[in-house]
């Protein structure tokens, strides 16, 4: 009878032990689920009640006899592929070491969606299923610069004010790539205004910046063209008085303002040409004729106008070069 009782008692002990270990396994399973939850939602703590008040760097000693401490913060740089892998040793500040102890992280791999930070739990267990935990804040950084290429060369025309504005810098970016997030619309040019002084060509540097603050640059060579003609307007009529004995005059000896009421260009007027450049006078009376004036800018663009010139011989001498102007 005693033998039968002992066998029954032994059976009950084994059954209870099995139930306890089963419950411990469920606890670990629940904790793993909680660990996943806190990684995805670092500000929401659910699951095991004895971990609900953890802060970065703090610990929860679920079972006695073990003590593990985490660093408050750790930094993790993402690779060129946008992935970062964390080792438990990166998180562990101090803790027991020895055979039968197992350290593992609730989450060890991170990507661009995890920027700027996540909360990670470090778990240590022994062969008897005792468990201790702590957690840390992982600051995730993208340190890889974008890759871009610009249009090699672009030809632009100056406008009537002698300028060309780069309104959409992104349109000169031909290819771009980044391991995380890059907004190409935020491309900037080191000089958005090109003007006459930049002829015949100017190099412009374009810069892109990704959401991690990493930058990359490329250069486009702008060939600057000016096809805008000068503006010129002649006086309707110009009268020139000459002294007796004068039989020939050269128009370039007179100020161009004597014949022109307006002369301007978007860049620079290089020269004015009189056609004809000179004229012979009648021996007596008045000489009358048409004078064409051609304005040419420093890009080779030209425009012209015509004025009527009346040359009168004075009976009395007058100061040389004096001109009487008439304008309609």
Q: Residue 121's domain is classified under what CATH number?
A: 2.60.40
- Of 88, 121, 142, the one marking the end of a domain is 142
- Of 91, 113, 142, the one marking the end of a domain is 142
Element (H, E) at 203: strand 201-209
* 12: in domain: no
CA nearest 74: which of 93, 95, 94? 93
Query: Backbone phi, then psi, for 25, in 5-degree steps?
Result: -60, -40
* Core vs surface per residue 192-213: b (16+ CB within 10 A) or e: eebbbebbeebebebbbbbebe
Q: How much is the pLDDT for 279? A: 86
Each residue's pLDDT tens digit, 257-315: 899 999 999 999 999 999 999 888 776 668 889 999 999 999 999 999 999 999 887 76
- Of 196, 225, 254, the one marking the end of a domain is 225
- Please indicate, yes or no, whether residues 124 and 160 belong to a single structural domain of this protein: no
Residue range(s) defining the domain that contains residue 98? 22-142
- Please indicate, yes or no, whether residues 33 and 108 belong to a single structural domain of this protein: yes
pTM: 0.69
Is 247 within 8 Å of 319 (Cβ atoms)? Answer: no
Each residue's pLDDT tens digit, 5-61: 333 333 332 333 333 333 333 333 333 333 333 333 232 222 233 333 444 544 444
- Please indicate, yes or no, whether residues 221 and 236 belong to a single structural domain of this protein: no
Total domains present in the chain: 3
Q: How much is the pLDDT for 42? A: 31
* 10: in domain: no
Q: Residue 213's domain is classified under what CATH number?
A: 2.60.40.10
CA distances from 182 to 92, 111, 117, 144, 254 (A): 34, 15, 19, 11, 64
* Highest mean pLDDT of the ranges 10-19, 65-74, 179-188: 179-188
pLDDT band at 66; cut points 50, 70, 90: low
């Amino acid at each position: 009878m005693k033998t039968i009782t002992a066998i029954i008692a032994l059976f009950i002990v084994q059954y209870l032990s099995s139930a306890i270990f089963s419950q411990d396994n469920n606890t670990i399973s629940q904790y793993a689920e909680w660990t996943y939850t806190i990684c995805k939602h670092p500000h929401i703590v659910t699951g095991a009640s004895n971990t609900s008040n953890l802060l970065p760097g703090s610990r929860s000693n679920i079972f006695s006899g073990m003590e593990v401490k985490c660093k408050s913060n750790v930094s993790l740089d993402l690779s060129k592929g946008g992935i970062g892998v964390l080792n438990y040793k990166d998180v562990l500040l101090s803790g027991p070491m020895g055979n039968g102890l197992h350290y593992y992280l609730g989450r060890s791999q991170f990507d661009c969606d995890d920027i700027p930070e996540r909360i990670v739990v470090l778990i240590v267990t022994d062969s008897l299923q005792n468990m201790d935990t702590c957690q840390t804040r992982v600051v995730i950084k993208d340190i890889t610069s974008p890759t871009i290429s610009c249009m090699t060369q672009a030809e632009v025309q100056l406008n009537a004010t002698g300028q060309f504005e780069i309104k959409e810098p992104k349109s000169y970016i031909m290819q771009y790539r980044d391991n995380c997030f890059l907004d190409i619309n935020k491309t900037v040019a080191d000089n958005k205004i090109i003007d006459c002084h930049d002829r015949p060509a100017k190099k412009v540097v374009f810069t892109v910046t990704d959401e991690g603050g990493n930058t990359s640059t490329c250069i486009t060579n702008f060939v600057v063209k000016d096809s805008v003609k000068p503006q010129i307007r002649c006086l309707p009529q110009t009268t020139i008085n000459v002294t007796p004995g004068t039989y020939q005059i050269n128009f370039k000896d007179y100020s161009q303002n004597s014949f022109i009421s307006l002369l301007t260009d978007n860049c620079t007027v290089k020269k004015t040409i009189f056609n004809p450049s000179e004229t012979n006078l009648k021996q007596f009376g008045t000489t009358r004729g048409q004078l064409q004036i051609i304005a040419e800018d420093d890009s080779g663009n030209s425009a012209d106008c015509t004025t009527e010139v009346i040359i009168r011989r004075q009976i009395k001498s007058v100061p040389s070069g004096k001109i009487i102007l008439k304008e309609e």
